[in-house]
Amino acid sequence: MLPGFGHGGGEQGLDAGNISIIMEVSNCEAMIMKAVDSEQISRYADMFAAIGTESRLRIMQLLLSSHPEGMVVGEIQAELGLSGPNLSHHLDKLKGEDLVQVERQGTYLRYRANIGALQQLLAFLYSECCTRSKAISPKHILNACA
């Protein structure tokens, strides 16, 4: 569990294609994470770069909408209309940054969004923009997730 998540008895996590950050606004200050070292910053930058193309962002969106079952490669390809080699390249990049997980099921590969990695990435952003500098009100984030 990430620091600050789950306080106040509220549910937390991701569900059915929607990223839902659920927290009590009164616990906003408890969300400040420990100082992020340069290695973590580099990892987060690589993760953002990996989802920084339209195709990869669409893949992530699709995998989140199919959570927790995920999708096999053929389903992703049919949905997005990408060529096999192109899709394979994008999935490899997302897998390399630990944003997706893959499981072999017979002759198929099933991909799922790595919810834990996405929660870390979102918690990093939240802690920087909403608790320490207060650039964005936590109420706005809660409204966006509703």
Ranges of each domain in the chain = 36-145
* H helices present in 1-146, as ranges: 38-50, 54-65, 73-80, 84-96, 115-126, 138-145
Q: How far apart are CA 97 and CA 40, in angstroms?
A: 12
Q: Which residue has the higher pLDDT, 120 or 144?
A: 120
Band the pLDDT of 126: cuts 50, 70, 90. Answer: confident
Residues 67-119: tens digit of each pLDDT: 999 999 999 999 999 999 999 999 999 999 999 999 999 999 999 999 999 99
Q: How far apart are CA 89 and CA 66, in angstroms?
A: 21
Residues in contact with 24: Cβ distance below 8 Å, sequence separation at least 6, in sequence order: 7, 8, 10
Architecture of domain 36-145: Orthogonal Bundle (1.10)
Most confident of the ranges 5-19, 23-37, 51-65: 51-65
Distance of CA 141 to the CA centre of its chain: 15
Q: How far apart are CA 9 and CA 31, in angstroms?
A: 15
Residues 55-69: tens digit of each pLDDT: 999 999 999 999 999
pTM: 0.69
